[in-house]
Chains A and B, each alone.
Chain A
């Protein structure tokens, strides 16, 4: 009785033995190409949008966000490099290329490639998580440049009049006078609006801050 299937399986085993290096190389090439694209995309987005997305955040959060994105980019880059390494391994480096040693070297190379790929996968996953965290921070951290004092974004001015100088955000300037909101501080518990009559205004100068 001939169990021909047993022979076919034995042949399949030999075939798999020959092919496993090619199999992991193909996997590694897929990861290499994907990660190269992903890293490129992330770096382009970071360069184009990175600064916009963090301006307006409070200082501390801005650093947290920048650190998250930088670490994420580093992880992605490392993962991409590992996958390149996995796809272009140097089989047989440092061993005699005789059959017996090469047989072991192929097995070593398969394992090394898979380890490199596993590292690449972990780095990619961690990097993507960090990017998501950074983007999420951008959504939930309040934008201080828009929040805060009511008339946000209005320019600050220094108004010199007969009665002295007033500094604050410009609220209104018309035929009756100039209205300025003086910020809190310097004896004022809260921001107050001060009206300087038109007749007494000598000079209105824009300033960076009061």
Chain B
């Protein structure tokens, strides 16, 4: 894995063609996805979890919530490398270099390309 680069904080979307490979895993009970991979800009590793919303009543018997349908398309993740990138505003909730990118979600059962 490449060395982390302390780039200036910039909120840019990176080009999908040059993004390093990321893994998308669905939790065993199917309620959330875990995306992990390196930031295309600063090469810091970022792991983010995207859960299926559980607010509101469940549909099943006694409000039991069936496993949600699999997600298709892309997951947008942003850099949370944790390094103190210069020029990051203090008010920013970001914990990375500001980059964000789309990670395609693999077909259920299919392997990540």
Contacts and interface: CB of A to CB of B under 8 A. Distances in A.
Interface stretch (B1-9, B50-58, B81-89): B50-58
A1 B32 CA distance: 29
A24 B62 CA distance: 18
A7 B55 contact: no
A1 B16 CA distance: 12
A107 interface: yes
A186 B5 CA distance: 111
Given A104-B27, A111-B65, A11 B93 contact: yes
A28 to B, nearest CB: 13
A115 to B, nearest CB: 5
Interface in B5-34: 11-13, 27, 29, 31-32
Majority DSSP secondary structure for residues of A touching B: helix
A14 B57 CA distance: 21
Interface stretch (A15-23, A174-182, A192-200): A15-23
B53 A20 contact: yes
B63 interface: yes
A107 to B, nearest CB: 5
Contacts of B50: 13, 17
Contact of A110 (B11, B54, B62, B76): B54
A104 B11 CA distance: 30
Contacts of A114: 54-58, 63
Nearest to A24: B55
Contacts of A111: 54, 58, 63, 65
12 contacts: A6-B100, A7-B76, A10-B76, A10-B100, A16-B53, A103-B49, A104-B32, A107-B54, A111-B63, A111-B65, A114-B56, A114-B63
Interface of A: 1-4, 6-7, 9-11, 13-14, 16-17, 20, 23-24, 103-104, 107, 110-111, 114-115, 118
**Which 7 A-B residue pairings sit nearest by Cβ, starting from the closest?**
A7-B100, A2-B13, A10-B76, A115-B63, A110-B54, A2-B12, A6-B76
